[in-house]
Structure 1
Amino acid sequence: MTKRTRLHSVDRYPANEAGGRDFAVGDIHGHFSRLQQALNAADFNPERDRLFSVGDLVDRGPESAQVLEWLQRPWFHAVQGNHEEIGVRYVRERSISAGHYTVLGGAWLMDLPAIDQMNIADALAGLPIAIEVETPGGLVAIVHADCPMPTWGLFIQFLEHSDVNHREMKDLSQWSRRRLEQADASGVPDLRALVVGHTPLREPAVLGNVYHIDTGAWLKDGSGRFTLLDLQTLETIPPMRGRLQWSD
């Protein structure tokens, strides 16, 4: 399975032609060994299955430097999260101070040689803001934090064709917690489902048709885990047990 060519800020994938499963996973934050364990537990088959990440692949965890290796895997696809954006800004612009980036978990990148920093920044800068995946039940979309416009179609049209306030819309899509904070269950009407991460929860949560699947596998206290969402069935592994719950 080969990756589709990116058009502007959106990657589009057809239905899984290999007959396998498509999964989405929450924030990884440099815990790729734990992610592999979760994939093994789900009998993930890299010859047939695909994995889509909601972003925040790096920072905070001990294996962030493995990000290039994972991005080269033909079955692994990711959107750009706010931590990828921060890393790019640190390397390319130095608009993030070393002290601030250290607090955010970026010491691993700062400790690398300059050429390695640039290679990683180039890879992270090339990630799309949004991913669309065709499924038998309809279109499923993935973005890091939220769709900041009333419909997905308007958001994608804006990303692909507008230069006005593009940064503001991008920032909202990578940072917003409005939907969770307001318990907004209105959903995104022109999608089967929208899948996001960014906010750690004790259990995955569904508001309307928006699936929040960052269940804190990266938390230092070990209380979290990876949640895999099957994009065809919209069922989670492990199964969803409860209601909206914030993680401490």
Structure 2
Amino acid sequence: MSRTFVIGDIHGAYRALRQCLDRANFDFESDHLISLGDVCDGWPETKSCIDELLRIKNLTYIFGNHDYWTQQWMETGYVEKVWFRQGGEATIQSYQDKIPAAHLQFLNRALPYFLSDNKLFVHAGIDIQRPLEQQGPDIFLWDRTLARTAMEIYLKEMDGKLTTFDEIYIGHTPIPFSKPIHSCEVWMMDTGAGWSGVLSMMNIETKEVFTSDPVLSLYPGVQGRSKS
């Protein structure tokens, strides 16, 4: 029987991605993986990460802000300074001037968000005061308001409902925990794989979590992306 998983920001950490897939016994033919974006930038294996995701028959890929920067570089050759400092350099080096057409197509096909059974999957967040159709990349790829609200509620040990969705899964905003946290209907999935944290992948039906080793230990002597 097929299963559906969601995974947080990968940020070029191929070894962490492999650990999560292996520890979940992920079936590349029948299981479904929803990736919340930012496969690019930070650790040195963005190319290998996308190669791995392309092997997954049932993949839903959400567009992230680092994916946007990488897509722009792949299409135009332009290197955004802030992107270069925040992990873009590692992405450029991972391709060694040879960008497979399938990788640009992969990013071009990425979704702004994914909605299934009243469960919403989006990279950064949403404006809870506006319908989805009135929002765009500035919110979906960048905005941290929902993440900050969810974290504040979590730390205050409060409960409640923020939206009409049953569940919302977001990445983008790293949390200082080694497993995803649940606040109201929001699941925060970025457990810091782009820094010194771990990569987390979760079965959305059972809520079982599969995590990598701390990414810093998987790439000794290599620095992840720099903070802005």
Alignment equivalent of 2:202, drawn from 213, 216, 229: 229
1:41 equivalent to 2:20? Answer: no
8 Å CA contact 1:187–1:210 kept in 2: the answer is no
One-letter amino acid of the counterpart of residue 40, structure 2 = V
Letter in 1 for 2:63: Q
Q: In 2 relative to 1, CA 72–42 (structure 1 residues): closer, same or farther, beyond 3 Å?
A: closer
TM-score (norm 1): 0.70
Quote how far apart the aligned CAs of 1:149 are.
Answer: 3.8
Paired residue for 1:175? 142
Specify whether residues 186 and 56 from structure 1 end up closer, same or farther in structure 2 by C-alpha distance, changes over 3 A only: farther
Residues 10 and 193 in structure 2, CA contact (< 8 A), matched pair in contact too? yes
Report the CA distance between 1:96 and its aligned residue.
Answer: 4.8
Structure 2: segments with no counterpart, 5+ residues? 154-158, 212-226
User: Which residue in the other structure is 1:82 paired with?
Assistant: 65
Please give the root-mean-square deviation of Cα atoms over the aligned residues, in Å.
2.7
Q: State the distance in 2 between where 1:123 and 1:180 align.
A: 27
Preserved CA contact (<8 Å) 2:28 2:55: no
| Counterpart check, 1:31 vs 2:16 | no
| Aligned residue pair count | 201
Of 54, 60, 74, which aligns to 1:71? Answer: 54
Cα deviation for residue 21 of structure 1 reads 1.5
> Residues 101 and 180 (structure 1 numbering): CA distance in 2 closer, same or farther, change over 3 Å?
closer
Partner SS for 2:99: helix
1:85–1:125 CA contact under 8 A, matched in 2: no
Deviation at 1:117, TM superposition (A): 6.9
Q: Does residue 128 of structure 1 match 2:128?
A: no
- Which stretch of the first structure deviates more once superposed, 208-217 or 62-71? 62-71
Q: Equivalent residue for 1:200?
A: 174
Mark the CA change 1:71 to 1:171 in structure 2 (over 3 Å): closer, same or farther. Answer: farther
1:218 to 194, 202, 206: 194
Contact 2:173 2:190 in 1 (8 A): yes
Identity score, percent: 24
One-letter code aligned to 1:226? L
Determine helix, strand or coil for the equivalent of 1:106: helix
Q: What secondary structure is seen at the aligned counterpart in 2 of 1:142?
A: strand
Provide TM-score, normalisation by structure 2: 0.75
Asked if structure 1 preserves the Cα contact closer than 8 Å seen for 2:127 and 2:146, the reply is no
**Which residue in 1 is equivalent to 2:126?**
147
For the residues of structure 2 that align with 1:107 and 1:202, how far apart are their CA atoms? 25
- CA displacement at 1:34 relative to structure 2: 1.4
Deviation at 1:65, TM superposition (A): 0.9
Query: SS where residue 228 of structure 1 aligns?
Result: strand
Q: Identify the structure with bigger relative contact order (alpha carbons < 8 Å, sequence gap 6+).
A: 2
8 Å contact kept, 2:31–2:58: yes
Change (3 A) 1:117 1:108: farther
